[in-house]
Structure 1
Amino acid sequence: MKIYYYWSEEKSESKYIELMLVLWAQAFFTFADAEGYDNCHLGFMLQLTGVRLRIVLFYKQQIRYCFPELNLRQGRCAMLVEVKNLVKRYQDVIAVDNVSFSIRKGEIVGLLGPNGAGKTTTVNAMVGLTKIDRGEIYIFGKKLKENEVEIKRDLGVVPQDIAIFEELTAYENLMYFGRLYGLRGTLLKERIEKALEFTGLLEKKKQYPKKFSNGMKRRLNIACAIVHQPSLMIMDEPTVGIDPQSRSYILQAVKELNRQGSTIIYISHYMEEVEEVCTRIIIMDHGRVIAAGTKEELKEMMTSEERVTAELSSASYTLIEKLNKLAGVKESYVEGTKVTVISAKNSKNIRDIFGLVSESAEVISFNVEQPSLETVFLTLTGRSLRN
């Protein structure tokens, strides 16, 4: 992030105060960059530090800023995406029911839900394909319905249905989509080469997609979406119907796009994909957001118990009797040399359990098991992700 400023020609009462505030602002933005707050509003962060009165002085003395990513009129931390109270009806069916969520810059957010959960309608609304009945969508700090064309210039969409022209070569496909995004001349050619190289299709650039495998078509689909190097990517089931090798290639590409600076909304029916690539997950069902958080947070909310398993050099029923007397332990049992303990969720309980088992025998392995993401999903929705 860069900060630009200049002094006004008006005589200031205190150039010293102005200078101190400028230096403070520079220090703040250095901190913000390091901590990942590069989309945060200066005024909001200043208020947190208790110098709200100085904001007025800072602004009125006409130190000017040019922050391409900041909206100084907002009094909150600016998110890259904000969906607020979204509602969409199809006659008597409520497809999206008061959906709200936000996405920070640099995240890979998984959007999960069974069929009919409202995911597609929500995403279609975000890209301007579906008109909503109520609510607001902000992308890059701008209201979608008032800035749709501008927002779409920095948005990349990988649809579930492959959207390429089989009568055009791979290169010509990217030429077409690049021109739609306003790219021309040398820059367009450079971007095409980079997108083809990134997706492993550079050597296939003169070939027609009708000769491609499904995996190669999916990769070309992604190349068409990234040719303009968008800040925000929406990827809807990008690995459907492809072989494991192509799936692995695409998942690595998703992570690399994120490392290069793209924020990604990733929609998938494959739980293992979401676990591998996403930093945060939003679960929808019956048109509503029913849970959101990191994988760990979602698993944490599912149970008040912990299942501890320990593989020992030897195990005895005497150990089980001692374990059952520990505070918080609900059940323990032994199978050969494997001991299993069901305990209330508490870090002290885990330490006490480990202490007892390590005193009784050599500990070969010791694990605290958590529910899988699939279990979390089934518990929340009552149905499988692929139903």
Structure 2
Amino acid sequence: MKNILFVLLTFALFNAAFAQFPQRTPTPNDTLKSMQIVAGGKVKFSIYAPKASEVTVMGDYAPQFGADKLTKDAVGVWTFTTDYVVKPNVYTYDFMVDGLKVFDPKNAQYKESNSGFSNLFEVKGAENDFQSLKDVPHGKLEKVLYTSSALGGITRRLHVYLPPHYDEISKKEKLPVLYLLHGGGDNDASWTTAGRANLILDNLYAEGKLKPMIVVMPAGHTPVQGFFMGAGDKQDPFCRDFVQDIVPFIEKNYPVSAKREHRAVAGLSMGGIQTINLALWNPTLFSHVFPMSTGYFPDAIKEITEKHATVMTNPEINQFKNFTIYMGGEQDIAYKNNLNMMKMFDGFGIKYTYQNGTGAHTFLAWRRNLSEFAPLLFK
């Protein structure tokens, strides 16, 4: 009897406590699917915003850059369905509600950047296999803090990808390093969120196409004033941080080789200029150089031609084992700058190879670039 009375008393107390919390009225948002692949391969976006007056969505899923307007129904759900098939790939999108960028809380997949978060979605298919999450051995991703003496002793963050079976491999040999740089507005997490670098590398390892390596993804923006797209490494605080602090930090804290033939650098857009500045002004640091979707602006080309001819004619530049420039097609916003830059390189006798692809100025191009050049490294 005492046990029964105890249970009844406990139940009564629980109900009394629960009753003091206000009961929430169910809404359409409770069961809403914010992003769906619908019949025929089209994509449907939805967001619950009953008090909004205008909602749009935009992202690299669209053939043309621009915002798509959503339509509101009677219960406050806004929707938009593409009138075209969205091909297999990984895409970003952002909702704008009455002019305010709104993160989609119904979707846990996201891209991190300096300006905040964008959502991601994947359309599965054979073309997408190289960057999909699969049942293969996975590498380890570390967020690492270090002190930058070049930037006044501030604490900075970078990401490090360690290959599958790293613990066993690192006991036997020193590993080569790929330094992988992001673009303007992004940060050190962007290559592993929107860029899926870790999944791409995991899959290449599983296929036996990749030599074990460490991949370091630093933050290209700094709080120190500088010109990230200028001519040479002296104008860019990140380049000073890279040479003085990042490389020494990695070589002190990870079992990596310090030999030139075991270092590579690659970067996209702003990170592509940083890649070129680091490589051409410090050519003995690297054996592999891969700038993507980038090119000097006319003022920088003029400055290089007039003031840095000695740098451009350094014979060490033509000792790179691989210097390949990637472009995302004629729609890439850096396309013209890149043509002008390559013309300048030709004038100085700099040897390089050029691959013009598709995907414009987005990770649609850069993920594919990574999958193509990573197997060429350190062979």
Q: TM-score, normalised by structure 2?
A: 0.26
Task: Choose between structure 1 and 2 for higher RCO, CA contacts under 8 A separated by at least 6 residues.
Answer: 1
Q: TM-score, normalised by structure 1?
A: 0.26
Greater helix content? 1
For the pair shown, the structure with the greater C-alpha radius of gyration is 1
